[in-house]
Amino acid sequence: MNRDGFLFVYSLTDDQTLEELRSIHEQVLNVHPNKNVPILVVANKLDLAAADRAVSIEEGEALADEIGAVGFLEVSAKQNVKVKEAFEELLKKIVSDAPDAGSGEGSGGVFGGGNVDGDDDSPDGKSAIDQYSKPKKKRQTKIFNPITTKKKFACNIL
């Protein structure tokens, strides 16, 4: 059962970032086993829209339609406007497509399942994902997007 999803984020102040999503979409299609993997197109920098908008809402929606995205949303990461909603919308789609998402053992890739803190399979028979239900401590990982930035951002993983 597929449990993947993608947020395709572009800057609404830079039309080139919207165009780059087409290439990223093609790359995803070339490597992902599910050609219908859920994608949510997200326009960032809503806080700058009034003064510096370079991409219209209609253009963002058109790209979402073109690539078969599950939706389109404008957000402001700086002002924390609709950021949570973007993740929730994508997660709702993933869970609706795979009701058992979050159960069982994961591969340990990116943010899912696998061993916690280097532990091997638990002797009590619990899956690795069960260990996340009551995290022992916060872990931090780095997220890096080489296409749009050279900065690293921290993301807490429970």
> 1-101: what fold?
Rossmann fold (3.40.50)
The H or E element that residue 12 is part of is none
Q: Would you state the pLDDT for residue 95?
A: 87
How many alpha carbons fall within 13 Å on the CB side of residue 9? 16
pLDDT lower than 70: segments of the chain: 1-2, 99-158
> Is residue 42 classed exposed, middle or buried when 0-12, 13-18 and 19+ CB atoms within 10 A define those classes?
buried
Q: Name the pTM for this structure.
A: 0.64
Q: Would you state the pLDDT for residue 125?
A: 52
Q: Would you state the pLDDT for residue 132?
A: 39
Domain with CATH 3.40.50.300 in the chain: 1-101
Q: Would you state the pLDDT for residue 3?
A: 73
Q: Would you state the pLDDT for residue 113?
A: 44
